[in-house]
Amino acid sequence: MKTKEEVLRLREEIIEVCLALLEKGLIVRTWGNISARLDEEHFLITPSGIKYKDLTPDMLPVVNIKDLSFEGDYKPSSELLVHRSIYQARSDAQFVIHTHQTYATCVGALGKKRLKGERKGEKVIYPVADYALPGTNKLSANIKAALIENSMAKSVIMSNHGSVSFGRDAAEAINEAVLLEKAAKSYIFKICKTDINYGIEEGFSSHLENGHIVYEKEGTPERIKQVHKAIYAKRPDVTYILHNKSKAIMTISRRVNHMKPLLDDFAQIIGTHIRIPTSDHAAIYIRSYINAVFAYNDGAFCLGNARDEAEAAAIILDKGCLAHIAVTRYGEGRFLSFFDCYKMNRNYRKNYSKLSNISV
């Protein structure tokens, strides 16, 4: 039984890990969740809908492993089932990290069953759990099965979703996540021939002020202004447009005419599909509930009702494009069904669209 002082220190450590993962780029915004075992029957976990920088130790709910009831004023992360499955499957799991880290997530879209890596000069296998919708019993069962089948694994890639890593303490869990991302990035670069770094390369963005368009860079080209005007005219819910010209997005903008989601967060935040113009003279495609608009060979315009939301769309779109390129060059992959995409997108719009930050 942990003392009150030990429990408080564990709460503080979870917050420290959240901030450390943000620094390392393994977590972006609030996309991910962290937990720590308290005893055989309980674990602490990050709450849903709170920015990590705003977390205080008292905000972390205590979850009962047996029935998932919880104590505290804040609702646990929606992926508490995943954390429980790991604590049930592995007695050596004391600290669990769930991230949407870029390259491991992309590997999870390839349809592979495992990824090979190295730890201290020895070969290690990272299993890929079968796909299931986020937050479901099926997903947690798939992760549990992957861990039971691979008893030495301390990280699992979640198909089309992200990854989980764990250890006997926070340091080991973080190290496992770092090693997984290193192995995944190597695979994406070398085997999938996708030597593309992840991030936003901002072009010509804009926002609305009192109903008027304000372009954020002097000398915004007229062709770009016409796209912004068309988007604002057709999407009254949009007040901010972030123009992303990252390498992955630029590649897609000149080589692809239609994108289906490979990743859960793409379906949730961007939409169920995107059509892309195939020439300079083709009309752009602006649709309700599709939060990105491509221009031929000119990147994509990512939409939101504030800079924060548009930036979130830009981050997710870039990772989705990177996954699409990797799958194309690899020669196979697993796209999400339209039904699953529609269900996730609808749930996101219903439950999270009014939040300024999302924790999943």
Residue-level pLDDT at 353: 54
The confidence band for 360, taking pLDDT boundaries of 50, 70 and 90, is very low
CA distance 303 to 311: 8
Strands 155-158 and 122-129: parallel
Residue-level pLDDT at 359: 45
CA distance 314 to 303: 8
Nearest to 326 by CA among 210, 196, 168, 224: 196
Structure tokens at 212: 């008027």
Nearest to 235 by CA among 291, 282, 298: 291
CA distance 231 to 250: 19
Domains detected in the chain: 4-190 (3.40.225.10), 206-351 (3.40.225.10)
**Residue 305 to residues 106, 139, 207, 291, 309: CA-CA distances in angstroms?**
28, 32, 9, 11, 6
| C-alpha angle 262-268-269 in degrees, rounded to nearest 5 | 105
**Residue 130: how many CB atoms within 10 A of its CB?**
16
Nearest to 105 by CA among 343, 247, 318: 318
**Residue 106: how many CB atoms within 10 A of its CB?**
29
Higher pLDDT, 28 or 353: 28
**Average pLDDT of the chain?**
93
The mean per-residue pLDDT over the stretch 100-108 comes to 96
* Percent of the chain clearing pLDDT 90 (strictly above): 86
For the sheet with 212-215, list strands across it. 212-215, 206-209, 240-244, 300-304, 292-294
pTM (2 decimals)?
Answer: 0.93
Residue 195 phi, psi (nearest 5): -85, 70
> pLDDT tens digit string along 240-282?
999 999 999 999 999 999 999 999 999 999 999 999 999 988 8
